[in-house]
Amino acid sequence: MAEERQGPLPPGQSGAPLRRFGLPQFAAVRPVVPDRPVITVGGTVRAPMQVAVAEVLALPGRRSAQRSDLHCVTTWSATGLEWGGVPFAAVHEWLAQRVEPHPKCAWVVFTGLDGYRSCLRLDDALADDVLLADTLHGEPLSPDEGAPVRLVVPAHYGYKSVRHVCAVEYRTRYDSGSVGWIGHRRARISHEERGPLLPGWVWRPVWRGMIPGVRRRYARFDGRPRRFGA
């Protein structure tokens, strides 16, 4: 176990339980998790490929566990989450030998089965605490928790922690992804990078104001059957 948070939450955050949450346009998409999920690896690479999630999770000697917090940019934080999985750095090392990303690739885009996309600077994605997780508190992830695997990026706001990862693309440029212009390229919590141009504290009320509407929208779809995503 690593990364145990002690002391107060980061500025502007307050505690909340982990519940399905995200951009409003993804509330209706609760994807069916395939029996044999795969990850499509592409972008600016020499040899795109598909790899079974099971193969990635079985990388020899690479499993790791971590206790960390998820800080959503809208100002709620879920604390003490115990994730298990494989560090993305180990996955990248294995993948890069096979797909051969262009040497100028400095960004990586993750896509979920619901069609949600988010971009990380490659060096941020390779930090020790970035995990492709398949368990939470010792149990396999439920679909609503992001099965079959989700990214866990504790040092960055929650919109970088893509659930249901089904594609990894290496890119030479930043891609604003699903969050669009309102997102931050890096979204580091330590720098309160909540959005472009303005300091983080200015963004707090903007984001916080979105919570009730988003919660209502997710709640409306939580009781409904799953359907295949985009």
Ligand X SMILES: Nc1nc2c(c(=O)[nH]1)N[C@H]1C(S)=C(S)[C@@H](COP(=O)(O)O)O[C@H]1N2
Smaller CB distance to Mo ion: residue 146 or 158?
158
Q: How far apart are CA 50 and CA 48, in angstroms?
A: 7
Closest CB to ligand X among residues 76, 107: 76
Contacting residues for 26 by C-beta, under 8 A, at least 6 apart? 114, 115, 116, 178
- Residue 19 interacts, among ligand X, Mo ion, none and using kind-specific CB cut-offs from 5 to 8 Å, with ligand X
Binding partner of 187, given ligand X, Mo ion, none, CB within 5-8 angstroms per partner class: none
Q: What is the C-alpha radius of gyration for the chain, rounded to an integer number of angstroms?
A: 17
For residues 17 and 103, which CB has a smaller minimum distance to ligand X in the complex? 17
Contact 88, 126 (CB under 8 A): yes
Contact partner at residue 167 from Mo ion, ligand X, none, CB < 5 to 8 Å by partner kind = none
The nearest distance, CB 66 to ligand X, in angstroms, is 15
Specify the residue, 30 or 171, whose C-beta has the smaller distance to ligand X: 30
Locate all alpha helices (DSSP H) within the chain, ordered by sequence.
53-57, 88-99, 122-125, 200-208, 211-222
Spatial separation of the C-alpha atoms in residues 163 and 149, rounded to whole Å: 7
- Least separation, in Å, of the C-beta of 60 and ligand X? 28
Q: Smallest distance from the beta carbon of 42 to ligand X, in angstroms? A: 18
The SS3 call for residue 90 is: helix
Do residues 214 and 24 touch, judged by C-beta distance below 8 A? yes
Say which entry of Mo ion, ligand X, none residue 12 contacts (CB below 5 to 8 A, set by partner kind): none
Nearer to ligand X, 73 or 86 (CB): 73
Closest to ligand X by CB, 68 or 161: 161
d(CA 167, CA 67): 25
Name which of ligand X, Mo ion, none residue 207 binds, using a CB cut-off of 5 to 8 Å depending on partner kind: none
The binding site for ligand X (CB under 6 A) comprises 18-23, 26, 72, 112, 114, 116, 145, 158-159, 161-164
* Least distance between ligand X and beta carbon 96 (Å): 24
Length of the chain equals 230
What is the smallest separation between the CB atom of 21 and Mo ion, expressed in angstroms? 6
Output phi, psi for 56, to 5 deg.
Answer: -65, -40
State the residues that interact with Mo ion by CB under 5 A.
72, 158-159
